[in-house]
Chain A
């Protein structure tokens, strides 16, 4: 239990997470609410989906940034794990469980903050009360995102520790890079059915679905938001069940691979390699 409490505290009080995952994304949300929204037509459905898209992308980017520090933390911790698995009560399952639970709680905390921030700022800016509709789906999305991002961090941290620590500076940032890449690709490109393939889009789209209470558009970029009709047009939507399945499968695969890797983990000392 102490390890879990430590993991949670370590993630939510990490200065990097607080700055890049919370403060920086909050600034982004402010820009979205007060600057980019200026030309938005005064239509309820547009305001709602616009706000939901900001919620979806802000949680994705926020969790992506938090996952960078989790990956760094794991890369650092992996040096000690081979010793502790052999010579302490620490088991791979306990380590994995503590990390997943700590990450899920931290994504729930950060996600709740983003939910409140987006709701208040966009409601104020757009002069309409725009609140999240499907709260259970919101928290399910946040929890699944926590499991996915922590298992991604674990596999990346474990792989760099196992094979090549020299690339860790780049590998640590993979969750953030992919979050930005897929997050914005959905907003500005027509990805079609391929949104079902990536867990990053699954987090974003489930966030949108949860916020609007309706299934998210398959292609946000194809929506004619500016100057659109007064009633919501019919557009193809995603299946929330498939997105949830996507996140669960990715998390399961990454967790299983991480557990496999953890059991075979050894320190790969870079310094000695350089000296020899």
Chain B
């Protein structure tokens, strides 16, 4: 279980995550436009950056945690040990209990066969696929997955969707792409705008909803974007979420 209470992350005096609170016992999608604080939130949950407030995994405060192997992430910062793909697999086998054969099979599924390659020489898409496969192949309970579809081609996106659905019991999958969200319609949904997290809701409910400006009675979620409030409602009123393509559209509505 991930429990976050009044979480704040500051870079050089600027608050990037602004007092976020949520509790998560299932797998959830975290949607947000570019620069909204998605990766920073994951970095805080992954213990990579310092935070104020409280962030707990299975009841354990992340800032003082040591040796908890039940959480895996594909964050780039978690892959600084190991030069080649083979190095990373060996080190993660030792440190994270990675099931190496399973990882190799997953990598083959997405066309990564040459393990002698250097991680930093992979294309963006291959790097994302590699890190996601390694994160999932250690059979984690909690997932923290950042933009697993970034620069990944369509056919491989389907494979990644099945990986994310099959692995892990709880956690956050972060994306800014609305079109991929339909593959996770049974997942919980959180949204993040300007360092504030809104939710939870259900992905399926969100995708079939419409967005209207202002606080609407009966809406299942209200978010604040650029100083304006938007409500997500069922029914035909407003603009269909499925027509938005990207959450950045809320800024120009």
Evaluate whether A87 and B72 lie within 8 angstroms (CB atoms) in the complex, with A3-B81, A272-B40, A276-B11 already known. yes
User: Complex Cα distance A76/B62, Å?
Assistant: 22
Q: A89-B67, A89-B95 in contact; A267/B90 too (CB < 8 A)?
A: no
Q: Does A82 contact B (CB under 8 A)?
A: yes
Within 8 Å by CB of A2, from B62, B79, B94, lies: B94
CB of A83 within 8 A of CB of B47, answer yes
Do B95 and A88 have beta carbons less than 8 Å apart? yes
Residue among B14, B48, B68, B81 making CB contact with A267, cutoff 8 Å: B48
**Within B82-99, which residues are at the interface with A (CB < 8 Å)?**
82-83, 87, 90-97
B16 within 8 A of A: yes
Q: Do B95 and A83 touch across chains, with their CB atoms under 8 A apart?
A: no
**Which residues 42-87 in B have Cβ within 8 Å of A in the complex?**
43, 46-50, 62, 65-69, 71-73, 75, 77-83, 87
What 0/1 pattern do residues 1 to 13 of A give for CB contact below 8 A with B? 1110010001000
Q: Is A77 an interface residue (CB 8 A)?
A: yes
CA distance A88 to B95 in the complex (A): 5
- Given known A1-B94, A272-B11, contact A82–B80 (CB-CB < 8 A): no
Among A76, A78, A84, point to the contact of B95 (Cβ < 8 A). Answer: A84
**Contacts known (A6-B82, A82-B48, A83-B73); A267 close to B43, Cβ less than 8 A:** yes
- Kindly provide the distance from the CB of A150 to the nearest chain B CB, expressed in whole angstroms: 16
Kindly state whether residue B12 has any CB partner on chain A within 8 Å.
yes
- Residue among A79, A84, A266 with the highest chain B CB neighbour number at 10 A: A84
Contact of B49 among A84, A267, A276 (CB under 8 A): A267
The yes or no answer to A97 lying at the interface (CB within 8 A) is no
**In the docked arrangement, what's the CA distance between A6 and B97, Å?**
17
The answer, yes or no, to whether A91 is at the interface (CB within 8 Å) is yes
Which of A1, A87, A89, A272 lies at the interface centre, i.e. has the most chain B CB atoms within 10 A of its CB? A87
Count A-B contacts at CB 8 Å.
98
CB-nearest residue of chain A relative to B73? A83
**Is there an interface contact between B91 and A79, defined as CB atoms closer than 8 Å?**
no
**Which of chain B's residues have a CB closer than 8 A to the CB of A10?**
83
Cβ–Cβ < 8 Å partners of A2 in chain B: 90-91, 93-94
Given contacts A6-B87, A266-B48, contact A80 B80 (CB under 8 A): yes
CA distance A3 to B91 in the complex (A): 6
Size of interface on B: residues with Cβ below 8 Å to A: 38
What's the interface size class on A, roughly? 20 to 34
Determine the main DSSP class of A at the interface with B: helix
Q: Which of B77, B82, B90, B92 contacts A83 (CB 8 A)?
A: B77
User: Knowing A86-B68, A88-B95 touch, does A77 contact B46 (C-beta < 8 A)?
Assistant: no
Whether B79 contacts A80 by the Cβ 8 Å rule is: yes
Contact B80 A87 (CB under 8 A): no
What A residues does B71 contact at CB under 8 A?
Answer: 87
- The reply to whether B67 and A88 form a contact with Cβ atoms under 8 Å apart is yes
Contact mask for chain A residues 75-106; partner B; CB cutoff 8 A; 1 contact, 0 none:
01111111111111111000000000000000
Contacts of A85 in B (CB 8 A): 47, 66-67
Instruction: Indicate which residue in A86, A88, A276 contacts B62 across the interface (CB closer than 8 Å).
Output: A86
Contact A267:B95 (CB < 8 A) given known A88-B69, A91-B66: no
Is B11 touching A267 in the complex (CB atoms < 8 A)?
no
Partner of A3, one of B16, B43, B69, B94: B94
Question: Does any Cβ of B come within 8 Å of A233's Cβ?
Answer: no
Closest to B79 in A: A80
Asked whether, in the complex, the Cβ of B68 is within 8 Å of the Cβ of A80, the reply is no
The distance in angstroms between the C-alpha atoms of A269 and B43, with both chains bound, is 11
C-alpha gap A269/B40 in the complex (Å): 10
Residues on B with beta carbons closer than 8 Å to the beta carbon of A86? 46-47, 62, 65-68
Nearest residue (CB) in A for B92 is: A88
Q: Is the CB of A89 within 8 A of B69?
A: yes
Do B47 and A273 touch (CB < 8 A)? no
6 more contacts with CB within 8 A, not counting A86-B66, A272-B16, are: A84-B78, A87-B65, A87-B72, A87-B96, A89-B95, A272-B11
Which residues of B does A touch, CB under 8 Å?
11-12, 14, 16, 35, 40, 43, 46-50, 62, 65-69, 71-73, 75, 77-83, 87, 90-97
| Sample (26) of A-B pairs whose CB atoms are under 8 Å apart | A2-B93, A10-B83, A76-B80, A77-B80, A79-B80, A80-B79, A81-B80, A82-B49, A83-B73, A83-B77, A84-B78, A86-B47, A86-B65, A86-B66, A87-B68, A87-B71, A88-B92, A89-B69, A89-B94, A91-B66, A266-B48, A267-B43, A269-B49, A272-B16, A273-B11, A276-B11
Residues of A within 8 A of B (CB): 1-3, 6, 10, 76-91, 266-267, 269, 272-273, 275-276
**Interface pairs A-B: 8 shortest CB-CB:** A80-B80, A86-B47, A88-B95, A276-B14, A86-B65, A2-B94, A79-B77, A77-B80
